[in-house]
Structure 1
Amino acid sequence: MKEIIAIIRMNKVGQTRSALAEAGFCRMTATKVMGRGKMLKDLALLDKATDENREIILQSMLKGGRLIPKRLLSIIVKDEDVQKVVDTIIAVNKEGHVGDGKIFVLPVTDVIRVRTGETGEEAI
């Protein structure tokens, strides 16, 4: 089993959820998160900044800069379903721009359904 963690734009949640449901993956957890990546806008501003503004922008970047609202999706799937889920998420979210998102795939060693005590794939 694998956990797929996808961090996507807030405005893509509905489309992503619908596409995953159509592909047969309805179970997921969604969480509102805040974060930042490379922020190429900051680097572009730094290049164009005057000496006085450059220091302000650099200090902002060093302190972590702006955090952007995103949505984190967590989906547990069988190993053989990972590529289908990843491809579906990419198909909906890829616009070719900074901030399209990130996808992480992690191993899951076990799952336990609290109500029944089922474990492994039966608990998904």
Structure 2
Amino acid sequence: MKEIIAIIRPKKVIPTKEALEKLGVPSLTALPVFGRGKQKGIATELEIDIRPEVLDQSIKAGRRMEYIPKRLFSIVACNEDVDTIVETIIKVNQTGEIGDGRIFICPVDDAIRVRTDEQGDSALL
């Protein structure tokens, strides 16, 4: 089993969720998060109006935003499903622009469904 952690743009949550549902991904956890990559934050990521002169002043002064809003998806999947899930997340979220996100894949030792005590892959389905 693997955990797929994807950090994506907020406006890509619904298309990503719909694509994963079409794949048959049974569950995921989504959280609002704040962060920044090596670009130190991009004001244009926000869906708010920033007066052009204010944005220009900020860029000229070398100032960037501390953190920008993103969404974190956590999906635990069977090993054989990981590549398909990752490819789907990339397909939906890749724009070629800075800020498209990151995907991390981590090993999971075990999973337990609390209600039934099922373990391993059967706890995921």
Question: Same fold by TM (over 0.5)?
Answer: yes
Instruction: Please classify the TM superposition score into its range, dividing by the shorter chain length.
Output: 0.7 to 0.9
Kept in 1: contact 2:40–2:66 (CA 8 A): no
Kept in 2: contact 1:36–1:67 (CA 8 A): yes
> Partners in 2 of 1:40 and 1:105 — Cα distance?
24
> 2:69 — aligned with what?
69
Deviation string 1:20-60 (CA, Å, 9 cap, x unpaired) is 11111131000000000011678xx9xx85xxx46xx4xxx
**What letter corresponds to residue 22 of structure 2 in structure 1?**
E
SS at match of 2:8: strand
> 1:3 — aligned with what?
3
In structure 2, do the counterparts of structure 1 residues 116 and 66 end up closer, same or farther at CA, with 3 Å as the change threshold?
same
Uncovered stretches (5+) of structure 2, i.e. residues with no partner: 43-55
Structure with greater helix percent: 1
2:83 pairs with 1:83: yes
TM-score (structure 1 length as normaliser): 0.80
Alpha-carbon RMSD across the aligned residues, in angstroms, is 1.9
Give the count of matched residue pairs: 109
> 1:38 — aligned with what?
38
Percent same amino acid at aligned positions?
50
TM-score (structure 2 length as normaliser): 0.80
